[in-house]
Structure 1
């Protein structure tokens, strides 16, 4: 209980800080040595042209100027900031400009946590790797550092917790997290999108899909899980789920 109250206090500080400082804070200059860290840890960035890498760098710094990042029982390191910012930029890199107006602060935990936002002495219930806050935690995101790093360590899987949570934020920008991101999908395509979601969810729940089982939970989780797959293994998705691949290409404005 005390731990949860402490987290709530930190989030209140987030809100005050973001209101008074962050929105007017200019973006810093991209540190040159971050380029090598990005090349080493982020395949998406490595595959970009030099020109687009420079754009990506600016987008990272813009994001970091708008969001406050705080560690819980850990010190925030450079790579923590980089991987969080990368997770935010990748899904919206196809857009000329993007602002996460529904996010002001991010709490980075050392490991997974439970529904009470506790991770100490809760080994049996450490089940959450990331979440987008609601209610008193509105405009906040909580991420597990271990899960964040894991998402960028294996380039052969379809998992990325950071991207997953930022896709939830994108979905939520129309006011509700329902798997239908109105900022991305034009109205005439909403019904075809929902039909496709339900078709793919049915395949997941019948054990006839390689999309991970969590995507069968509901429409919002399907969108986030499918987006992880799309950005981690686009070629594989194009081969195994061509219709879903084409729809996500259109959603994210991605070539």
Structure 2
């Protein structure tokens, strides 16, 4: 698939989403999704029944506001559960949240390359997800394979869906720079930057269990650290207590 064709598809989906979401009501949570969540989303399984109900409502609100589309296959219930869960988990502890910088989530069956074509050989950069910029503004593109792998119990500390939604949160203040000002009060910014630089140095010196991609830049560090925080919170609390506490300040809202 060419970049031009993807662009046309995304524009069409964005227009469709704008036209329909103005009238679209929040649908009822499908009861069969409860068991899917219990089986496949550990974050949900750890919640109380009351919190699970709130999680369900937040999922359905998200799905009423974002248009989901796929390339070459039909999205099934588990795909939708994973996408909506990825959106809800980072902001679950906030009383209300809307991704005002997202209109469309486009899902490829597998990894894709920088030209938004299918990654077909080892020379291609195999991308699992990205948040669009420029002409792809307000779009997110995900690999279905990467999305599913992120929720697998065999993929510790790594979740592509959460990673990309944290980038969206970071971007809400106008700059994807690893400092999510919409979550972080100003007095915490300098301590946060200090932690980022210390942890990135550890990563790049091969002295950390944080995924190596987190050493790329501040924005990627935030997204990678958030994956760790939500997927393996107890392990992060033990190995990186300062980082854990700072992310708790960011993501635990009023708790």
TM-score by length of 2: 0.96
Superposed counterparts of 1:13-92, under 5 Å: 13-92=12-91
Deviation at 1:24, TM superposition (A): 3.4
In 2, Cα distance between the equivalents of 1:251 and 1:121?
39
Deviation at 1:17, TM superposition (A): 1.3
Q: Deviations over 1:38-69 (max 9, x none)?
A: 11111110110000000000000000000001
C-alpha contact 2:213 2:221 (8 A) present in aligned 1: yes
Deviation at 1:87, TM superposition (A): 0.3
RMSD: 1.3
SS in structure 2 at match of 1:164: helix
- 2:251 is matched with which residue? 252
- Which stretch of structure 1 is more off in the superposition, 28-37 or 12-21? 12-21
- 1:112 is matched with which residue? 111
C-alpha contact 2:38 2:45 (8 A) present in aligned 1: yes
SS in structure 2 at match of 1:170: helix
Deviation at 1:154, TM superposition (A): 1.6
In 1, Cα distance between the equivalents of 2:124 and 2:22?
36
Gaps of 5+ in 1: none
- 1:142 is matched with which residue? 141
Deviation at 1:15, TM superposition (A): 1.9
In 1, Cα distance between the equivalents of 2:66 and 2:38?
23
C-alpha contact 1:119 1:126 (8 A) present in aligned 2: no
Deviation at 1:126, TM superposition (A): 4.5
Deviation at 1:123, TM superposition (A): 5.1
Cα distance change on mapping 1:156 and 1:5 into 2, 3 Å: closer
SS in structure 1 at match of 2:29: coil
In 2, Cα distance between the equivalents of 1:219 and 1:121?
30
SS in structure 2 at match of 1:143: strand
Superposed counterparts of 1:185-224, under 5 Å: 185-224=184-223
Deviation at 1:122, TM superposition (A): 4.5
SS in structure 1 at match of 2:173: coil
- 2:238 is matched with which residue? 239
SS in structure 1 at match of 2:208: coil
C-alpha contact 1:87 1:166 (8 A) present in aligned 2: yes
Deviation at 1:247, TM superposition (A): 0.4
- 2:157 is matched with which residue? 158
TM-score by length of 1: 0.96
In 2, Cα distance between the equivalents of 1:238 and 1:125?
36
Deviation at 1:120, TM superposition (A): 6.0
C-alpha contact 2:111 2:119 (8 A) present in aligned 1: no
Q: Deviations over 1:67-99 (max 9, x none)?
A: 001101111111111100000000000101000
- 2:124 is matched with which residue? 125
In 2, Cα distance between the equivalents of 1:205 and 1:123?
24
C-alpha contact 2:103 2:138 (8 A) present in aligned 1: yes
In 2, Cα distance between the equivalents of 1:156 and 1:235?
16
In 2, Cα distance between the equivalents of 1:121 and 1:198?
36
C-alpha contact 1:38 1:46 (8 A) present in aligned 2: yes
